[in-house]
Amino acid sequence: MAKESPDEGEAPIIVGMAEAAMHMYTTAIAALPDTNDDEFRPRVEVILSGLRKLRKSLTDAAARSRLTPGVIVALSEARRCYDDLMERAAAAPAAALGQQLYVARLHAKLSAKEAANGAGLRADLLDDLEAGETPTEDEATNVKGLIESLGRGGVPAMKLNENDHKRLPAESFDESVA
């Protein structure tokens, strides 16, 4: 009989715990008050904090050498839930700057490091703000500028129609870019 490796033995436990945690988080999310309620922000921040911890643990588990599809699915579900809740929190009247920043980055498809580099900020500052830290006045001003820039997208979003996918003629292919 083949001996089970520690990684293979841990995966079902990791997935089971992630599923239990996600059940609790989705129940807590469903019970959140309206975004205009004064209790919304403190309650959403507790849930987001827990989801960040779950996401980090699952990201670490996904980096292991012997990974199972269940761990990847659990990580994907945790990330999707976190992103959806951050979108909801960022749209609330009392949204934190970090929540707005996260959603702006998410829509711009930028990592914290990429966005920070583009704005001349420290990546750890963005991570800290997105985790609920309070910025200094100067940091807040710079981050608001970044959010505004990302909100504009720098480049207008492209809406592609089915007919927009026409192929270029072969003679227009530039081999120097390949």
Distance CA 129, CA 26 (A): 24
Q: What is the pTM of this model?
A: 0.76
The pLDDT of residue 169: 45
Q: Given its phi and psi angles, is residue 166 left (phi above 0), alpha (psi -120 to 50 degrees) or beta?
A: beta
pLDDT class for 167, splitting at 50, 70, 90?
A: very low
pLDDT tens-digit profile of 3-60?
545 445 788 889 999 999 999 999 999 999 999 999 999 999 999 999 999 999 999 9
Q: Domain boundaries in the chain?
A: 7-94, 96-153
pLDDT class for 140, splitting at 50, 70, 90?
A: very high
